[in-house]
């Protein structure tokens, strides 16, 4: 199993939260998160943000375009 960088981990975090991550990539991400506090914090932030967006729009799905815009902003943050 390859070690992934923080940049790759962030991409996989978004895939994980979007339900679009492969099992092998999920294992790589978990391994990375065991040793990287910054990415762990990023994952927790992304989870909370998604929960808040869902809570605001309980009866609505988060539009993919909004989710992508937020992810792009946060990637460059």
pLDDT at 77: 63
Separation in Å, CA 38 to CA 44, 55, 57? 10, 26, 29
Is residue 67 situated within a structural domain? yes
Mean pLDDT, residues 50-63? 78
Q: Rounded distance, CA 77 to CA 16, Å?
A: 20
Number of domains in the chain: 1
Is residue 17 situated within a structural domain? yes
Instruction: Find the domain containing 31 and state its range.
Output: 6-75
Mean pLDDT, residues 47-76? 82
What is the pTM (predicted TM-score) of this model?
0.70
List CB contacts of 62: < 8 A, sequence separation 6 or more.
50, 53, 54
Mean pLDDT, residues 40-64? 85
Is residue 39 situated within a structural domain? yes
Is residue 1 situated within a structural domain? no
């Amino acid at each position: 199993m390859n070690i992934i960088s923080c940049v790759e981990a962030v991409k996989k975090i978004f895939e994980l939260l979007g339900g679009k991550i492969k099992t092998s990539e999920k294992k790589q991400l978990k391994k990375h998160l065991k040793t990287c506090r910054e990415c762990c914090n990023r994952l927790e932030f992304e989870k909370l943000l998604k929960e808040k967006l869902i809570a605001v729009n309980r009866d609505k799905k988060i539009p993919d375009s909004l989710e992508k815009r937020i992810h792009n902003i946060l990637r460059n943050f």
